């Protein structure tokens, strides 16, 4: 009963010199010790790199979401990355000189600065429908997801030339129907009547059937004797293209491929594949924010000129097409997941950014830690 009346504590003498050194250390810099024990020059905090491209922590979406989404739980992120990293394409994918010339052009047009950024960047998050944020050292960049994915798919189409795995379609897709759908949706063909569109579709169908053996051998695009598309290539592991863009892809193959010139044939075919497999925004509009108004059943009457903006953004569940909204949310969530877990890991492994990306707005620097420190130091 008296055990807590008295207690004995072990004490230790305070090292006043160590305390003084700790208190006098400045926050303006950090001393870095070398393996030999010598201290190198202090690194100013405005130039310290606080991210590691190998460490997935620090991504923007982890601060937005209180809990992990079901999509991420089922992702098997480690397995996906292992597959992406372990996939190496054979160098002898094709012995054709024209194919080798195209691959050499990719190396010749490489931008060293962008290549370093791509290899050593840290993914931050999606900025909007087109751009994503990445950090490289102390700089923050906006990256055009459509442009980089298109270039990545183009390069992969040439690197995997003749060595593609295949995506088997659940049902054969008739070329004539695909081409007819594409022509109906093509705004440039709005003045052409239905009969002429059908004739164009038939001509393109015959062109693709005539070249079916070649595109199957080199690009794993299989068209049977009946004019049906049955297989598509696996350009990037763990990724399936948006099948809503399949009609446009087949029309591009029929119209834009230079079949008579080998090198241009391979270039234009790889470019068509790159455009089809690129991570374009989904066909359905983004339902986040004010975009939800596009899924209202009575949106036409609500979007009259005199309607207030808050009426447009009301979220009465009875007025919303829930089935279409769920489909749109799933499509946009899948795209965001693919950008983070498939595109950017693959981009760091395989992409060789061309010099044109330095000036066409694909990579845009929007912040510098050093400059931010200078601005806030004035406050």
Q: Is 314 helix (H, G, I), strand (E, B) or coil?
A: coil
Q: What is the pLDDT along the chain (379 residues), one digit of tens a residue?
A: 666 666 666 666 655 555 455 555 444 445 555 555 555 566 665 566 666 666 654 455 555 554 444 444 444 555 554 454 444 444 444 568 899 999 999 999 999 999 999 998 889 888 888 999 998 888 889 999 999 999 999 999 999 998 899 899 999 999 999 999 998 888 777 777 888 888 989 999 999 999 999 999 999 999 998 899 999 999 998 899 999 999 999 999 998 898 889 999 999 999 999 999 999 998 888 887 777 777 777 655 444 434 544 444 455 566 777 888 888 889 889 999 999 999 999 999 999 999 999 999 999 998 887 777 666 665 5
Pair of tokens at residue 115: 């290549």
Pair of tokens at residue 295: 């899924």
Separation between Cα atoms, residue 151 and residue 23, nearest integer Å: 53
Separation between Cα atoms, residue 373 and residue 45, nearest integer Å: 9
Task: Specify the pLDDT at position 11.
Answer: 65
Nearby residues of 221 by Cβ (< 8 Å), 6 or more positions away? 215, 229, 231, 232, 233, 253
Nearby residues of 163 by Cβ (< 8 Å), 6 or more positions away? 89, 90, 93
Separation between Cα atoms, residue 11 and residue 98, nearest integer Å: 80
Separation between Cα atoms, residue 189 and residue 196, nearest integer Å: 10
Task: Specify the pLDDT at position 68.
Answer: 45
Task: Specify the pLDDT at position 374.
Answer: 66
CA proximity to 131, closest of 123, 142, 121, 140: 142
Task: Specify the pLDDT at position 88.
Answer: 45
Task: Specify the pLDDT at position 197.
Answer: 86
Task: Specify the pLDDT at position 238.
Answer: 85
Task: Specify the pLDDT at position 26.
Answer: 45
């Amino acid at each position: 009963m008296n055990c807590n009346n008295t207690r004995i504590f072990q004490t230790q003498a305070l090292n006043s010199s160590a305390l003084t050194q700790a208190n006098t250390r400045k926050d303006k810099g950090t001393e870095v010790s070398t393996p030999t024990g010598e201290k190198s020059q202090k690194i100013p905090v405005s130039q310290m790199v606080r991210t590691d491209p190998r460490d997935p922590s620090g991504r923007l979406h982890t601060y937005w979401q209180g809990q992990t989404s079901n999509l991420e739980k089922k992702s098997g992120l480690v397995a996906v990355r292992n597959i992406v990293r372990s996939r190496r394409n054979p160098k002898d994918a094709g012995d054709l000189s024209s194919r080798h010339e195209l691959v050499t052009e990719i190396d010749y047009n490489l931008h060293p600065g962008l290549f370093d950024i791509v290899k050593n960047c840290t993914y931050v998050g999606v900025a909007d429908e087109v751009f994503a944020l990445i950090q490289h050292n102390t700089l923050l960049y906006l990256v055009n997801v459509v442009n980089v994915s298109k270039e990545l798919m183009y390069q992969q189409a040439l690197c995997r030339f003749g060595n593609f795995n295949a995506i088997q379609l659940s049902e054969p897709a008739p070329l004539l129907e695909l081409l007819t759908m594409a022509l109906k949706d093509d705004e440039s063909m709005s003045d052409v009547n239905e009969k002429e569109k059908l004739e164009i579709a038939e001509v393109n169908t015959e062109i693709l059937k005539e070249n079916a053996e070649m595109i199957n051998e080199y690009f794993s695009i299989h068209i049977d004797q009946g004019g049906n598309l049955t297989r598509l290539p696996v350009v990037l592991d763990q990724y399936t293209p948006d099948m809503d863009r399949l009609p446009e892809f087949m029309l591009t193959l029929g119209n834009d491929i230079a079949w008579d010139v080998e090198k241009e044939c391979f270039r234009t075919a790889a470019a068509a594949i790159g455009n089809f497999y690129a991570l374009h925004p989904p066909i359905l509009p983004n339902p986040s924010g004010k975009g939800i108004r596009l899924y209202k059943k009575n949106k036409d009457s609500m979007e009259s000129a005199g309607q207030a903006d808050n009426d447009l953004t009301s979220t009465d569940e009875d007025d919303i097409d829930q089935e279409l909204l769920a489909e749109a949310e799933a499509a946009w969530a899948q795209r965001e997941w693919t950008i983070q877990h498939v595109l950017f890991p693959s981009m760091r492994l395989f992409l060789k950014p061309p010099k044109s990306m330095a000036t066409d707005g694909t990579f845009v620097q929007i912040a510098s830690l050093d400059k931010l420190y200078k601005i806030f130091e004035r406050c």
